[in-house]
Amino acid sequence: MKGLILAGGLGKRLRPLTHTGPKQLIPVANKPVLFYCIEDLVNAGIKDIAIVVSGHDPLRAEAIKQAVGDGKRWNVNINYISQDQPRGLAHAVAIAKDFISDDNFVMYLGDNMLKGGINKFVEEFKNSGADASILLTKHKNPEKFGVAVLNDKNDIIELEEKPASPKSNLVIVGVYLFNSKIFDAISKIVPSARGELEITHAIQKLIENKDRVISHIIDGWWDDTGNAEDILHANHLILTELEHEIKGVIEDGARIIGDIRLGEGSTIRSGAVVRGPAVIGKNVIIGPNTYVGPYTSIGDNCNIEGCEVESSIIIEGVIIKVNKRIVDSLIGKDSKLLSSSNRLPSGHKLIIGENSEIEM
């Protein structure tokens, strides 16, 4: 079995962060979302992986290639496939046909995260003799996703792509398992009203052709990290299971409450309070007179002083020296939040792109 990760999207809902980089590389608990996808495939025993990247935005594609490499760090082989334009998930699968050949494969959307990995779904598919398998979960806003309709026997009888009036609350999770029949199904569909080849339409073709399509309703959490709120939610979920690990320095007079992970070369100074779960990267300075609250991730080479930060993601190279409370925020790489002599209205929720500088 092979793995196919789709990472060619523009991430418009995550602007301004994605003006300068791919959404799949935004870190959750200080690890890019894309790495979680790769690790799920690797843990399921998959050794050959292709990543579909943007062909019309070479800088984004190159950023992914530089971050991921050839797969040696995971002891697997990773290739790259260029998609000329965002033409839909089914189009991304179609252009991977030469890589997939006649093998079964897992298609994993590169901005999705799934608790517990995919091992059991891969084994179930291998033993089922099915032509396709889709993962489902109940969702309060099904109209935002692909929706599955099941009969009394839990067989899939219909799929809808982002319907205005959903027929069920079961949405399709961004992990799919296929055999080579999917390529023939894709060849028989036409672009949707959005101008894209929809993978739901291709799976519907399999159903209409009496091919066997099975489903599995997941019982753990799933997150589609398509916007800032979703990324912060995923960060919260990952940090809930954080293991305590201290590699840096905690000065006398600093307080640590709960589980934290502190990277090498980092220092929590006297007068600072860090309440976990929280992850702090390498070469970070926290304090003095600083509070870092639960569900916060701070990347490498940051300097946080004289403020309160909680339930936020601070990407690497950020400097925050402002007497404010920052919550539920996503702060981009190499940004600066500095105090101003003017008394400005305080802000509590920030989404700041890379290389920004804000006086507060």
Name every residue whose Cβ is closer than 8 Å to that of residue 170 and which is 6 or more positions away in sequence: 136, 137, 138, 139, 142, 147, 148, 149, 150, 217
Name every residue whose Cβ is closer than 8 Å to that of residue 202 and which is 6 or more positions away in sequence: 90, 93, 182, 185, 186, 189
Pairing mode, strands 132-138 and 77-83: unpaired
- At residue 82, the pLDDT reads 92
Cα 146 to chain centroid distance, Å, stands at 18
Render 42-102 in DSSP notation, one character per residue: HHTT--EEEEEEESS-HHHHHHHHHHHTTSGGGTSEEEEEEESS---HHHHHHTTHHHHTT
**Cα gap 263→246, rounded to integer Å:** 7
Cα 124 to chain centroid distance, Å, stands at 24
**Cα gap 122→106, rounded to integer Å:** 8
Helix (H) or strand (E) holding 291: strand 291-292
Number of CB atoms found within 10 A of residue 240's CB = 14
Name all domains of the chain by residue range, CATH numbers in brackets: 2-239 (3.90.550.10), 245-359 (2.160.10.10)
The amino acid occupying position 290 is: T
**Cα gap 121→46, rounded to integer Å:** 13
pLDDT per residue rounded down to tens, the chain (360 residues): 999 999 876 545 555 555 555 678 889 999 998 999 999 999 999 999 999 998 777 888 898 999 999 999 999 999 999 988 878 899 999 999 999 999 999 999 988 888 888 898 999 999 988 999 998 988 888 888 888 888 776 678 888 878 888 888 898 888 999 999 999 999 999 988 888 899 989 999 999 999 988 888 887 666 665 667 788 888 998 999 899 999 999 999 999 999 999 999 999 999 999 999 999 999 999 999 999 999 999 999 999 999 999 999 999 999 999 888 999 988 888 888 887 655 555 554 566 666 565 665
- At residue 345, the pLDDT reads 53
* β-pair partners for 3: 49, 106
- At residue 60, the pLDDT reads 84
* β-pair partners for 53: 82
Helix (H) or strand (E) holding 202: helix 199-208
**Cα gap 211→282, rounded to integer Å:** 51
1 neighbors 104 (Cβ within 8 angstroms):
yes
The amino acid occupying position 180 is: S
- Enter the DSSP assignment of 142: G
Residue among 260, 252, 218 at smallest CA distance from 112: 218
- At residue 344, the pLDDT reads 53
Render 216-232 in DSSP notation, one character per residue: EE--S-EEE--SHHHHH
pTM for the whole thing?
0.86
Q: What is the CA radius of gyration of the chain?
A: 22
